Copies of this chain bind each other. A is one copy, B any other.
Amino acid sequence: MSSSLLACQLRQLKYLVSANSYLKLSQASYTVSNAESAGPVLITPIPGPKSKQLKSELDQVQNTDAVQFFVDYEKSYGNYIVDVDGNYLLDLYTQIASIPLGYNHPRITKVLTNPSNLSSFVNRPALGVFPPADFVKNINESLLSATPPGMNQVITMGCGACSIEHALKAAFMAFRRKERGGKPPSREELETSLFNKPPGNPNISVLSFKNAFHGRTMGALALTHTKWTHKLDFPSPDWPIASFPSLRYPLEDFEHENSKEEQRCLAEVEDLINHYQKRDNPVACVAIEPIQCEGGDNFASPQFFQGLQDICRKNNIALLIDEVQTGAGTTGKFWVHEYFNLRDPPDLVTFAKKMLTGGFYYRDHLRPKEGYRIFNTWIGDPSKVVMLKEVLKVIKEEQLLQKTTDTGKYMLHKLIAAQNKYPHLLSRARGLGAIAAIDFPDPQTRDKAVAKLRELGIHLGTCGTSTLRIRPTLILEKKHVDIFADRFHQVLKQL
């Protein structure tokens, strides 16, 4: 084991040297996957002694119950995350789905070592008032090159939750503008708005879905319904919550049954909209994930989303599709809602994680009419946009959407094969592109499998009640899936 570790470290060293000497990394022979570890290398239990020591130190100043292990980000490379104890894990969780091209991708490293990018990292502007000279160019070559079809407005934000918060504000403003029918706000509205009182701060609501996750700040949290750890003890507005379809998999085998369930959920949405309208707390926005992630990798059909959009159109409600976890090409299309063949584009699409910056796209009619309405000091960080520009270039040059589709199919095929072999342990294998999941009979068995997989060098996440959550980079290859599948079978055999 120590010889493969040595080989691995030599490979790391080779990379570091080449990165520092500005080797032409785009040469055809170079790929990250050739330079990364050949496989997992385990030399201690995880967390190892060094992780435990650091955790106990950090615990002096904050609750560390969520810390799994400490990471050597200098050594981590490609699809392999390396902990401080020297263990190399194949990373299929990628910082909760937020690393697009793996660790220390040479093209991103080059962005950082390029002197002409230096000032973007050193000087963080108040972006809404004093934007950098290259900001327009940079968003043109990044965010605007990935705009969801039919949308044309975009704003950056610091994180996913802030993206949701401010997207909701855009929806609230548009809703009230429509209610005013073109008139300016009244003096009473302006004055009461400073004191948390209607009519300036009206009773209007956002409809969300059971098992949804949209973030942990007060507005975003009001849309989140996954776990008590996120919610307990925090005051929350009384906003409507509809059922998200609970479908049977594989979807194509249960079309009729699933369609009935989706119709039931859509009827519930309509009932809630009417009910909250009557309670003088009308719905201004419907917020939904295109695939519920944290809530258990729950899918719904294009027809469901089309129906939802129809309801929104009929009731003049903005439709917000939250692609914080699902966007950035991870499913083979850049945005999952592109699979839905919606009649119109969504009104709002939020992003963060693999996009490196938070933010949201929106349609013209949601554009604020005044300055400072969607605003804060930083409004994101232009240095992240500089990095995103390079990420998107690599995605395009290396055709990663297609590769992700192929690798994802291969992964799903392996999951289905495992499920067929161990039907008492596995069910509901599902996925789209690199997003993949499978269920265990109960949380205990799932957690045991995750722990055992880690002992074999596979790093994975969980979601829902008893679901295994697979969220790899966009540069995952079939050889990585084979390594996963091999270890997965070893674990299933023992369970």
Contacts and interface: CB of A to CB of B under 8 A. Distances in A.
Contacts of A428: none
A108 B383 CA distance: 15
Contacts of A122: 73, 103-105, 108-109, 112
A63 interface: yes
A95 interface: yes
A118 to B, nearest CB: 6
A435 interface: no
Contacts of A68: 129-130
Contacts of A139: 61
Interface stretch (A25-33, A228-236, A330-338): A228-236
Given A172-B233, A370-B65, A74 B377 contact: no
A106 to B, nearest CB: 10
A147 to B, nearest CB: 9
B232 A193 contact: yes
Give chain A's interface residue range (CB within 8 Å of chain B): 35 or more
B202 A129 contact: no
A302 interface: no
Interface in A122-148: 122-126, 128-133, 135-136, 139, 144
A131 B56 CA distance: 13
A120 interface: yes
Contacts of A64: 371
Contacts of A168: 218
Contact of A124 (B84, B98, B129, B161): B98
A376 B159 contact: yes
A405 interface: no
Contact of A65 (B57, B120, B197, B372): B372
B372 A54 contact: no
Interface in A257-306: none
B113 A378 contact: no
Interface in A196-243: 196-197, 200-205, 210, 215-220, 222, 225-239, 241
Identify the interface centre among A61, A125, A135, A202: most chain B CB within 10 Å of its CB: A61
A447 interface: no
A162 B236 CA distance: 16
B372 A229 contact: yes
Nearest to A130: B71
B237 A155 contact: no
A458 to B, nearest CB: 15
Contacts of A160: 376-377
A67 B232 contact: no
Identify the interface centre among A191, A196, A372, A373: most chain B CB within 10 Å of its CB: A196
Interface of A: 20, 54, 57-58, 60-74, 76, 81, 84, 95-96, 98-99, 103-105, 108-109, 112-113, 115-116, 118-126, 128-133, 135-136, 139, 144, 152-155, 158-162, 165-166, 168-169, 172-173, 175-176, 185, 189-191, 193-197, 200-205, 210, 215-220, 222, 225-239, 241, 352-353, 356, 367-378, 381
Given A72-B133, A161-B162, A200-B231, 20 more contacts: A20-B115, A62-B154, A67-B129, A70-B135, A71-B131, A72-B132, A98-B378, A99-B123, A104-B122, A112-B121, A158-B162, A161-B165, A194-B225, A194-B227, A194-B231, A196-B236, A196-B239, A217-B217, A229-B371, A229-B373
